[in-house]
Amino acid sequence: MRFVRSSLTLALLASLSLTGCAPQPESADTKQTSAPAEVAKVVDPIVYATHEHDVRDDVFYFVLPDRFNNADPANDNGSTELEISQGGLDVTSKWAFHGGDMQGIEEKLDYLQNLGVTAIWMTPILRNQAIQNTGFAHHGYWILDFTQIDPHFGSNDDLRSLIDAAHKRGMKIFFDIITNHTADVIRFEECHNPDGSFKEGLNGCEYKSTEQLVAGDTYSTFIPDGLENVKTPAWLNDPKYYHNQGDSFWQGESALNGDFVGLDDLRTSDPFVVQGMIDIYRDIITEFKPDGFRIDTVKHVDLSFWEAFSPAIVKHAKSLGIEHFHIFGEVYDGNPAVLSRYTTLGQMPSVLDFGIQYATADFFFKDQASDSLARLIQNDDYYNDADSDPTLLMNFLGNHDMGRVGMFIQQAQPEASESEQLARNVLAHSFMYLSRGIPVIYYGDEQGFTGDAGDVDARENMFASQVASYNDNDLIGTDATTADNNFDRQHPLYMSFAELSKLRLEHPTLRYGFQQLRNAESMTTEISNDRVLAFSRVNPADMQEYLAVFNPNDTAVTVAVQSYGTYQPVFAASGFAQTADTVTLDIAPFGYALYRTEAPILAAQPTAIALASQYADNQRIKFVYDVKLAQMADLPALKVSTYLVDERGNKSLAAEDYTSTYQAIVPPRLLLNTAALEVVVESPSGTLLTEQFEFDRTLLDAIEVE
């Protein structure tokens, strides 16, 4: 499909420029229409004076170094000395190495900074086994040596140079790390030949359960000749530190103990392994001073591992002066009840929010009702605990495993014009940027990349590609293909992301504010209420409300939402009117609007609190509160804190909730020594209520205590 700048596309480009949306005075019962805007242009990004800032102030860019930019062809074949980490270059194969490196990323820091990126997350860059039975390690997830950068990507000095250059710009560098497994080296006599190849008729090793092991049915391990000492540190070469139970089939205990597609699965319940991995990544932080870690395959590691690992790593980083070191994990699951296990019990500061990825695709691409997005926002309470909350979640719309936003749109809307695809793409990203959590751009999405599927089919080159299956893709918003260099700063998606980044970074509430779903009434007959979405963001620091309304339909819609003050446009609707208790917005097709109140909203006055219910659900205990108010309010703007009180009267904070319905969702382990709950309700006006409630301990009998 050739990219044609249709009237819809031009209107979209015009809407991307925030310069035409300056706040204008308005009063109740007045009609306000946004002025025409100029066609979008590249904006001056917000540049931080230092990289030492809160992670919620960041916009992330997730990149595979091998596929981004090749600045040094001399390292394209990897090591010149170690055969196990050399070779694999084939620029015509989507599976193989293509040559991108650390120098290539450093060379494009201007491009990324002008996109509004403040943090770069790279797939693993430590030295890999370059070629295995399952392909080539262009992705970096087959680590042999935890002390050296993979020579395909450059040297340790090249990595230091990149980090130094980024830090001088106020940008951060995040490493993708692995604790679940190492490269596929260990073999089993029962299914492998002496040279390490599979026996005839086999292409894997059947998983053996713990019950089988107890009965004596085990695999006999061996390491092929010449590979006995290929891993660093040396303890990683000893099979006793691995499960050795065969291949995972992704269910039951095999998800924890099985080899991840053949990769050697570490025994992460072993205290020696726990301390060994802590030591490895402490050393990495000491040597390179990264700003944080993304952790791979988190749910395939024992939960007890994370309880020790996460605090130890953060403590070490802080001891070196890295005050804002951040960790987020990959838990491949869309259920907040599952994801939040790792931020509460696992003491991990954050996780990638797969839930928002799934729900965004349903609403913005598949034209489904807003139910899944509404449930997602309402379930944010799962993440509230003493040291983390939903504002720390990592928002994303596509990645190197699942596939790209462009592909999801094209699959869901195969008959959509290119301008509609572009509009849907921008709108979904707008939702990602304006929602609670931290936005993550998947490299190439800002250039309209689409891909054909997940995995290697979503890992196109940004530099000129020679992969035929990449180069025949129809990119969104451009006539270019992946056979071209794709660092176009005039691409409409690049420009829109730059504008969104600046918008988010100019307004602290969009970074720190809690998110409350709002009741939005569609006044347009052919569009139902569940095909529009409205939410508020409110920062407890200043109590100014930001109201966001989204229209994912191909026709304009008029939406009515209850008002809590006098609103000014940040990103104006095509039409706006306000009365004493209602704001009415006309939202263009595939459009959104963002408004903020001129003054802090008037918080509700709490008069009483009761424990409405307590029950077991999703391996948690839920405490739901009934907060009586002096006046009805859809947006009460209260803070409800739950403390656990033991027999001696000692108190520990369990959760803070800023959004109604007010509740605390507590892992049962934390309740073992709890005698009562103390609940504190605070209003910004200064009103304070405190009540203690009995805890029904019989609830613990019906739930497994992790």
Q: For residue range 448-477, what is the model confidence (pLDDT) as tens digits? A: 999 999 999 999 999 999 999 999 999 999
Q: Are residues 569 and 451 part of one domain? A: no
Q: Are residues 401 and 315 part of one domain? A: yes
Q: Is residue 44 part of a domain?
A: no
Nearest to 172 by CA among 105, 118, 123: 118
Q: Is residue 225 part of a domain?
A: yes
Domain count, the chain: 4
> What confidence score (pLDDT) does residue 41 get?
56
Q: Which domain holds residue 369?
A: 55-180+271-295+302-503
> What confidence score (pLDDT) does residue 42 get?
61
Cα separation, 441 vs 142, in Å, equals: 24
Cα separation, 181 vs 255, in Å, equals: 12
Q: Is residue 40 part of a domain?
A: no
> What confidence score (pLDDT) does residue 634 get?
73
Q: Are residues 323 and 419 part of one domain? A: yes
Choice between 634 and 97, residue whose per-residue pLDDT is larger: 97
8 A C-beta contact, residue 262 and residue 132 = yes
Q: Are residues 162 and 201 part of one domain? A: no
Cα separation, 570 vs 548, in Å, equals: 10
Q: Are residues 353 and 261 part of one domain? A: no
Cα separation, 217 vs 233, in Å, equals: 30
Nearest to 144 by CA among 131, 159, 126, 158: 126
- Of 597, 620, 650, at which residue does a domain stop? 597
Q: Are residues 204 and 88 part of one domain? A: no
Tell me, what CATH number does 650's domain have?
Answer: 2.60.40.10
User: Buried b / exposed e across 84-104, counting CB within 10 Å, b at 16+?
Assistant: bbbbbbebebbebbbbbbbbb
> What confidence score (pLDDT) does residue 39 get?
39
Q: Are residues 440 and 332 part of one domain? A: yes
Q: For residue range 273-330, what is the model confidence (pLDDT) as tens digits? A: 999 999 999 999 999 999 999 999 999 999 999 999 999 999 999 999 999 999 999 9
What mean pLDDT comes out for the span 347-356?
97
Nearest to 381 by CA among 697, 57, 624, 652: 624
Q: Between the CA atoms of 445, 447, 451 and 455, what dihedral angle is there, to the nearest 10 degrees?
A: -50
Q: How many residues does the chain have?
A: 706
Q: Are residues 192 and 139 part of one domain? A: no
> What confidence score (pLDDT) does residue 133 get?
87
Q: Are residues 682 and 542 part of one domain? A: no
Q: For residue range 360-391, what is the model confidence (pLDDT) as tens digits? A: 999 999 999 999 999 999 999 999 999 999 99
Token pair for 66: 């091998």
Q: In what order do the strands lie in the sheet with 30-32?
A: 30-32, 575-578, 582-587, 557-562, 520-522
Q: Is residue 447 part of a domain?
A: yes
Q: Are residues 462 and 362 part of one domain? A: yes
Tell me, what CATH number does 313's domain have?
Answer: 3.20.20.80
Q: Is residue 376 part of a domain?
A: yes
Cα separation, 63 vs 294, in Å, equals: 12
Q: For residue range 123-169, what is the model confidence (pLDDT) as tens digits? A: 999 999 999 988 999 999 999 999 999 999 999 999 999 999 999 99
- Of 597, 625, 657, at which residue does a domain stop? 597
Question: Phi/psi of residue 355, each to 5°?
Answer: -60, -40
Q: What angle do CA 179, 181, 184 make, to 5 degrees?
A: 155
- Of 248, 267, 286, at which residue does a domain stop? 267
Cα separation, 268 vs 324, in Å, equals: 27
- Could you tell me how far CA 637 lies from the centroid of its own chain? 26
Per the DSSP assignment, residues forming a β-bridge with 609 are: 627
Q: For residue range 654-672, what is the model confidence (pLDDT) as tens digits? A: 999 999 999 999 999 999 9
> What confidence score (pLDDT) does residue 494 get?
98
> What confidence score (pLDDT) does residue 6 get?
39
| Range in 33-42, 403-412, 417-426 with the lowest mean pLDDT | 33-42
Q: Is residue 307 part of a domain?
A: yes
> What confidence score (pLDDT) does residue 602 get?
86
8 A C-beta contact, residue 199 and residue 240 = no
Cα separation, 327 vs 396, in Å, equals: 16
Q: Are residues 379 and 311 part of one domain? A: yes
Q: Is residue 369 part of a domain?
A: yes
Give the pLDDT band of residue 4 (cuts 50, 70, 90): very low
What mean pLDDT comes out for the span 529-555?
96
Tell me, what CATH number does 533's domain have?
Answer: 2.60.40.1180
Q: Which residues, 6+ apart, have CB-to-CB distance to 454 below 8 Å?
A: 400, 401, 402, 403
Q: Token pair 């998983």 is at which residue?
A: 207
Nearest to 478 by CA among 488, 464, 466, 469: 488
pLDDT beyond 60 at 1: no
Cα separation, 360 vs 374, in Å, equals: 11
- Amino acid identity of residue 429, one-letter, is H
Per the DSSP assignment, residues forming a β-bridge with 352 are: 394
Q: Mean pLDDT score of the chain, rounded to an integer?
A: 93
Cα separation, 526 vs 545, in Å, equals: 30
Nearest to 409 by CA among 399, 397, 400, 401: 397
> What confidence score (pLDDT) does residue 632 get?
76
Burial of 148 (0-12, 13-18, 19+ CB in 10 A): middle
Annotated catalytic residues are 296, 330
Q: Are residues 150 and 70 part of one domain? A: yes
Please tell me whether residue 326 adopts helix, strand or coil conformation.
strand
Q: Token pair 């077991």 is at which residue?
A: 616
Q: What is the pTM of this model?
A: 0.94
What mean pLDDT comes out for the span 394-407?
98
Question: Phi/psi of residue 255, each to 5°?
Answer: -65, -25
pLDDT beyond 80 at 577: yes
Could you tell me the end-to-end alpha-carbon distance of the chain, in angstroms, rounded to an integer? 53
DSSP conformation letters of 87-107: --B-TT-SSSB----HHHHHH
Q: Is residue 187 part of a domain?
A: yes
Cα separation, 242 vs 240, in Å, equals: 5
Per the DSSP assignment, residues forming a β-bridge with 187 are: 222
